[in-house]
Amino acid sequence: MAFTTRKTYRWQTTIVVVIFLFVLILCYWFLFIGQQAWLSTWVGAVGVAPDNVATYAKAVSWLVGIAVFLVSAYVLGKVPKWLQLLVTYLELLMLLVLFMTTFNIDMDFILRKLPFLITQGAFTTLYVTVVSIALAFCLALVTAIARRSSNGVAEGIATFYISLFRGLPLLLQIFILYLGLPQLGFVIKPIPVGIIALALCYGAYMSEVIRAGIQAVPLGQWEAALALGLQRRQVMRRIVLPQALKIIIPPVGNHFISMLKDSSLVSVVGVWELTYLSSTLGNRDFKNLEMLITAAGVYWVITITLEVVQRRIEHRFDSARTR
Amino acid sequence: MNHLEYAIDIRNLNKWFSGLHALKDINVQVAEKEKIVICGPSGSGKSTLIRCINGMEEHQEGTITVTGIELKDMQTLYQIRQNTGMVFQSFNLFPHMTALENCTLAPTLVRGMKRKQAEELAMEYISRVNIADQAHKYPAQLSGGQQQRVAIARALCMQPRIMLFDEPTSSLDPEMVKEVLDTMVKLAESGMTMICVTHEMGFAKQVGDRVLFMDNGSIVESGKPEQMFDNPRTDRLQLFLSQILHS
């Protein structure tokens, strides 16, 4: 028993703690939202000069806020871990929301613009990201295999490509492709240019991820398959790649999420995606912050969805082949 | 001398690992159905020798002829690999496939067998190594001994004429060594040509027709197992035997 920190809890404890935390959340709420009203009157009544009331009220609210946080951290030490996690999430989320409310944002404006922001902006962002990541993955796979090839030309092309596209800023690549391709006689619309640039750049990065995955498969797997008479191509496809794929799910998910936000860079060539739309809509009515926060929220929601999907895929790979 | 007389014919084999002379002028002829046991201290070249036979290692000088095919290019390499099965110290089962799928993979891909036919064949060998009830499990769900027996069945499914064993029991827990050795004895009794790198003296005496003792890249001594182990002629073998018996 002495070796484990895991404790047993009674359900009554949980209920008491949940009630306590409810009160706690109310505390936060009053401290930050209500600080203008009752906290100021209270601070004023103590005899603070009217000029300083606002500052004092703010200081008091922060101090009490920190105290409440510390008390909650102490209480959380006494509950099961899942509850600690949940409450910590809630508290941090609340603080974030409270921080946002200090901007005095115009909710009506946000609600009016949100549908268009999602149907045009978020849709374009997702569309560009999904197509780019699919292309990038195929490109990365071919490049990773070419890098291990015994053929010098294949390896040369692969390493040159990786070096070039990892070595230039993505923003520059987008500009160069957009301005350069017409010189070669290809006049391409902004969205395809954006997709090509993202796919090329991320293909270079992900090929290294896939190469790492391939190298992580033990050499013995190659030997066993070759000894059975399989060709190298068959070993790669049937034995090595399936195992490498499982290893690279987390880093590929990482790149997917990263690309979701880097896709905002294609706005420079005039693609109406989420960031571009939010800044133009905001500019028009001088409500920049409203639109930027909304775009941030939409990005975050999409990212959370992707994280859940990634966890699902990982879980499926894990349970199918108990390892 | 006609190469076809031998299952394996190795002549003047030399191999270097970037400067290290790993195999020095090896000459071995293995007859059909003969069982050879190779032993020797670690680093003596015994694994390298057995791995040269099916081209897992490339040799620099000499000739290797397996079932009448001389190993010289990719084509003969694949032919030889189809005629020889290999069992490894670390099993090397494919973790993303069930035991049965491990066994049917090569027959379907290399021999072009139909899936159903391959499964029947695989079940036959899986039963022969006594793990029919585990056929649909993944390697991680099997014990070491069971994994190694699946590996033997997997190699047998290609219906090889020669089986190579590279220290098949060295990474097993003691209580699992016997079940693998029993499988190997059964295989030997069925008339398979076998080359085993192993330190299991009991196994060597029971099935071995000939023992090769290697040291420092050369075959130092060879002969019948009883004569080799009971009356070693060279000091080197005497020392080796005293070391493995007293440790």
Query: pLDDT, tens digit, for every residue of B101-135?
Result: 999 999 999 999 999 999 999 999 999 999 999 99
Q: How far is A6 from chain B (nearest CA, A)?
A: 29
Distance of CA A293 to the CA centre of its chain: 15
Q: What is the pTM of this model?
A: 0.81
Task: Say which residues have a Cβ less than 8 Å from residue B128's Cβ, sequence separation at least 6.
Answer: B153, B156, B186
Q: How many CB atoms lie within 10 A of CB B139?
A: 22
Flag whether residue A244 sits within 8 Å of chain B, measured between CB atoms. no
Residues of B in contact with A231 (CB under 8 A): 78
Flag whether residue B142 sits within 8 Å of chain A, measured between CB atoms. no
Residue B162: beta bridge partners? B84, B193
- At B218, list the tokens: 């050369």
Q: Count of A–B CB contacts within 8 Å? A: 66
Q: Are the Cβ atoms of A322 and B90 closer than 8 angstroms?
A: no
- At B243, list the tokens: 């070391």
Q: How confident is the model at residue B156 (pLDDT cuts 50, 70, 90)?
A: very high
Q: How confident is the model at residue A7 (pLDDT cuts 50, 70, 90)?
A: low
Q: Are the Cβ atoms of B88 and A220 closer than 8 angstroms?
A: yes
Flag whether residue A10 sits within 8 Å of chain B, measured between CB atoms. no
Q: How far apart are CA B115 and CA B25, in angstroms?
A: 44
- At B82, list the tokens: 């189809």
Q: How confident is the model at residue A287 (pLDDT cuts 50, 70, 90)?
A: confident
> What mean pLDDT is predicted for residues A226-242?
95
Residues of B in contact with A225 (CB under 8 A): 94, 105-106
Q: How confident is the model at residue B88 (pLDDT cuts 50, 70, 90)?
A: very high
> What mean pLDDT is predicted for residues A138-143?
96
Answer for the pair A221, A242: CB distance below 8 angstroms, yes or no: no
Flag whether residue A226 sits within 8 Å of chain B, measured between CB atoms. yes
Residue A39 has pLDDT above 80, yes or no: no
Q: Are the Cβ atoms of A226 and B84 closer than 8 angstroms?
A: no
Q: How confident is the model at residue A323 (pLDDT cuts 50, 70, 90)?
A: very low
Answer for the pair A170, A186: CB distance below 8 angstroms, yes or no: no
Residues of A in contact with B140 (CB under 8 A): 321-323
Q: Which amino acid is at A321?
A: R
User: Which pLDDT value is given to residue A316?
Assistant: 83
Flag whether residue A242 sits within 8 Å of chain B, measured between CB atoms. yes
- pLDDT tens for B211-239 read 999 999 999 999 999 999 999 999 999 99
Q: How confident is the model at residue B1 (pLDDT cuts 50, 70, 90)?
A: very low
Share of chain A above pLDDT 90, in %: 47
Helix%, strand%, coil% for chain B, nearest 5: 45, 25, 30
Q: Which of B74, B75, B92 to mutate to test the interface with A (most CBs of A within 10 A)?
A: B92
Q: How far apart are CA B66 and CA B82, in angstroms?
A: 11
Residue A317 has pLDDT above 50, yes or no: yes
Q: Closest Cα partner for A222 from A213, A234, A206?
A: A234
Residue B3 has pLDDT above 50, yes or no: no
Mean predicted lDDT score pLDDT of chain A? 85
Q: Closest Cα partner for B15 from B25, B5, B30?
A: B25
